Amino acid sequence: MEMNRRDLFRIGGKLLVLASAGATLEQIMGSEPAPEAYKMADHWWGMIVDIDKCIGCGSCVRACSNENQVPNGYFRTWVERYEVPEGYVNPIVTSPEGAINGFPLPKPTNFKAFFVPKLCNHCADSPCTQVCPVGATFVSPDGVVLVDKEYCLGCRYCVQACPYGCRYLHPETETVDKCTLCYHRITKGLTTACCENCPTQARQLVDFKNPKDPVHEFLRTHKVSVLKPQMATEAKVYYNNLDGAVR
């Protein structure tokens, strides 16, 4: 059959209309199976921090700051550098601007030295949520301590009640702000910004309710601790190889 240019346009046009109709239908009906809806009751989030792996680069602080538009001078996460001189009561601790730009090269000493990343411990028995006069800060059913900024009075009782210094008053919203464990990401199946950007995988988001999560194997095979265990807050950020000098 001979096909001239007119036929080509006619058939091509029909095909184009058909294809676009199909594509529209596909968009309406959904071509891919819907991602499994996030069920809060199926998760119990926390984090593992491996002290020996942290190199103090500050990538986590920068990533958090960018991801969550953390105001200058305030920190949802930060990194501390510990130097523990033998025989001294107190360690020497530094965290220049929360280590957002990492750390300057240290002077050579023979002190024991290491980095400690810090963030909200998302305590199951959190003193900060206990004291909030209106319940604006709460533990979500999946174990994340959050603040409802539409409801927070800005009284800052929770800031006083947090033993770890993880909360601050946002200077623009005048409500309390803190680490959300990147809730907007983890509920979509992603990891936190800090974990994603850690070059040594010193920070690992974990889901204690997921039986396949490597956290269970990790906790079985490592000696871990939480910060300030005497506070009995049921902190869910576990530190591997945490030195007794860490506050």
Partner 1 sequence: MMIPGVDGFMYPNEVELQWSILIVLYPYITGLVAGAFILASLERVFKVEAVRPTYRLALLTALAFLLVAPLPLQLHLGHPERSFEMYLTPHTSSAMAMFGFVYLWYLTVVLLLEIWLDYRADIVHMSKTTTGVTRLVYKVLTLGSDNVSEAARRVDDKVGYVITVIGIPSAFMLHGYVGFIFGSVKANPWWSTPLMPVVFLFSAMVSGIAAVLVLYMAAMKVKRLPIDMRCVDTIAKYLFYTFVIDFTLEMLDLIHRTYEADESFRSLDFMVHTRLWASHVLLQIGAGTVVPLLLLAATQLRRFAPGARKAIYSITSCLILVGIFAMRWNVVIGGQLFSKSFLGYTSYKMGLVTREGLLPAVALMLLPFAIFFVLIKLLPPWQHSEANAAD
Residue with tokens 């107190």: 90
**Total binding residues toward partner 1, as defined by CB under 8 A:** 46
CA-CA distance, 189 to 38, in Å (whole number)? 8
Name every residue whose Cβ is closer than 8 Å to that of residue 221 and which is 6 or more positions away in sequence.
none
238 sits near partner 1 (criterion: CB under 8 A): no
Residue 164's nearest CA partner among 179, 143, 182 is: 179
Binding string, residues 203-222; x marks residues near partner 1 by CB under 8 A: --------------------
Q: How far is the CB of 244 from partner 1 (least distance, A)?
A: 12
Q: How far is the CB of 173 from partner 1 (least distance, A)?
A: 8
Name every residue whose Cβ is closer than 8 Å to that of residue 94 and which is 6 or more positions away in sequence.
80, 81, 103
Among the listed residues 85, 96, 224, 225, the single contact to partner 1 using CB under 8 A: 96
Among the listed residues 122, 167, 203, 236, the single contact to partner 1 using CB under 8 A: 167
From 25-33, 74-82, 186-194, 205-213, give the range in contact with partner 1 by CB under 8 A. Answer: 74-82
CB atoms within 10 A of CB 45: 22
Angle at 152 between CA 150 and CA 156, to 5 degrees: 155
Minimum CB distance to partner 1 smaller for 26 or for 97: 97
The region that residue 240 occupies, defined by phi over 0 for left and psi between -120 and 50 for alpha, beta otherwise, is beta
The dihedral built from the CA positions of residue 171, 176, 181 and 182, taken in this order, carries a sign that is: negative
Q: How far is the CB of 163 from partner 1 (least distance, A)?
A: 4
The CA-based dihedral angle spanning residues 147, 150, 155, 156, taken in that order and rounded to the nearest 10 degrees:
30
Q: How far is the CB of 82 from partner 1 (least distance, A)?
A: 10
Contact 92, 109 (CB under 8 A): no
In the range 99-158, which residues lie near partner 1 by CB under 8 A? Answer: 118, 127, 130-135, 151-157
**Token pair belonging to 29:** 């009906």
Tell how strand 145-147 and strand 112-119 pair up.
unpaired
Minimum CB distance to partner 1 smaller for 61 or for 206: 61
Q: How far is the CB of 75 from partner 1 (least distance, A)?
A: 5
175 sits near partner 1 (criterion: CB under 8 A): yes
174 sits near partner 1 (criterion: CB under 8 A): yes
95 sits near partner 1 (criterion: CB under 8 A): yes
29 sits near partner 1 (criterion: CB under 8 A): no
Contact residues for partner 1 (CB under 8 A)?
Answer: 73-75, 78, 80, 89-98, 118, 127, 130-135, 151-157, 159-169, 173-175, 231, 247
